[in-house]
Each structure stands twice: as C-alpha cells, then as structure tokens.
Amino acid sequence: MAILGSPLSSTQACYQAIVPAGDPWIRELQRGQRVRIVDLHGNQAVDTLFYNAHNYADRYSAQDTIREQGNIYLSTGTRLISTNGNTLLTIVADTCGRHDTLGGACANESNMVRYDLDKRYMHACRNSFLKAAWSWHKELTKRDQTCNINFFMNVPVTPDGRLTFEDGISEAGKYVELLAEMDVLMVVSNCPQLNNPCNGYNPTPVEILIWDPD
C-alpha cells in the first residue's frame, strides 16, 4: 500500500465527467495530462484499458508492469508498461492503496461459466469496452481487448497462490490519479457486475477528472 493524496484541486481540472454505473467512457490523454478516477460511492470496480494513442498495437501489459515493479498490486509509483516496453502512465496519487490487474474484465462467457447459464445475458465489461471502441475508432475491435486494470477492485492472492474476488477495500471519495507519460487512449468500463462482490452487488457512478500540465 502506498497511500498518497494529490495536490491538484478539482476546480482547476480542464475536464470533468460522471460515468454512470455500468457505462463505458473513452478519451485520449495528451502527454503531461493527469487523470483522476474517483470512486464516488465506494467499492466500485473501474475496468480500464490503455493504448499508445499513435499505435493501438502497443498497449498496456499486466505482465510487463508486474515484472518491472516486482509486485502484483498497483498503487502510487507504479509505471504502467506497454507491450513495446514504453511507460504509458505512472500512478502519481492513490488514496485507496491497491488496485488489481490479475482478475481480468467480466464477459458474458465468464459470467456463464462462473455463475450460471442464465447469467450469460447480463451486461458485462467486455460489452462496454466494445461499445466504447465502436464509438471511437473503427480500428479498435474485440481483438484489442487484452490486459486491463481493475481500479479499486480487491483481488488478493493467498499465500498458496490462489486468486479470490473479495469485498472492496475502497470507500466513497477514494481516488487514483495517473500522469500520462505519452499520448494514450484510455477506455473505461464502469463495471456492471452483479454476481460477485467487486461492486458491492450495487454498481455506482464514478467521476473522471483531467488536468493539463502546469
């Protein structure tokens, strides 16, 4: 855990949006901009993909990020490494303390396999990513949905190496803030999952703020 607040004031942000529960969000960040995701009501997983804005084949890699920092959890100081070895963004503030990049994003198929046959038709993050991608650029397709980060999601690894989806450790108003180290495309699914505790069985809105460099 590396709890660190941000000196930035929300009144000076150049962009602000509320992402309703279960909705997607997509936007390009310019190098030097900072983006903050606020867990407005607590215990809300924010599934997020990052791409090099000039080459979508160069994208966030959980494997490279974990290996470079020697830790499976993401928090202040984590550099988000791309498949080409670039640093896409750095986490510069974090009042939650830990974010997951092992659990993946929920899908119709995984809901069906994990929970029940009739859960197949429930809204899932991979649908939201696709909706965002279609609204943005025809070159982004389902094939481009690879590693993601689950901000505010609690997926502890047990001493014997097991993964578990647990109650969240985030609370209302907790946030994570990232500095764009290059131009990046950011795609969010404000997770609609109702079958496990990642959203407290009650998905809620989050806020996204962006600041220009000084």
Indicate whether 125 belongs to the interface with Zn ion (CB under 5 A): yes
Q: Is 5 helix (H, G, I), strand (E, B) or coil?
A: coil
Q: Does the protein bind Zn ion through residue 106 (CB under 5 A)?
A: yes
Kindly indicate which of the ranges 53-61, 123-131, 158-166, 203-211 contains the residues binding Zn ion, using the contact rule CB under 5 A.
123-131
**Distance between CA 134 and CA 160 in Å, rounded?**
41
CB of residue 147 vs Zn ion: minimum separation in angstroms? Answer: 14
What are the C-alpha distances in Å from 116 to residues 15, 108, 122, 165, 201? 40, 11, 11, 17, 16
Q: Which of residues 38-97 bind Zn ion (CB under 5 A)?
A: none
Contacting range for Zn ion; rule: CB under 5 A; set: 33-41, 114-122, 153-161, 185-193: 185-193
Q: Note whether 188 binds Zn ion by CB under 5 A.
A: no
Interface with Zn ion (CB under 5 A), residue total 4
Sign of the C-alpha dihedral computed for residues 92, 94, 97 and 102 taken in this order: negative
Near Zn ion by CB under 5 A, which window of 33-41, 164-172, 188-196, 204-212?
Answer: 188-196
Map tokens 């396999």 to a residue.
Answer: 113
**Based on CB atoms, which residue is closest to Zn ion, 29 or 191?**
191
- Cβ neighbors of 117 (< 8 A, separation 6 or more) are none
Task: Examine residue 191 and tell whether it contacts Zn ion (CB under 5 A).
Answer: yes
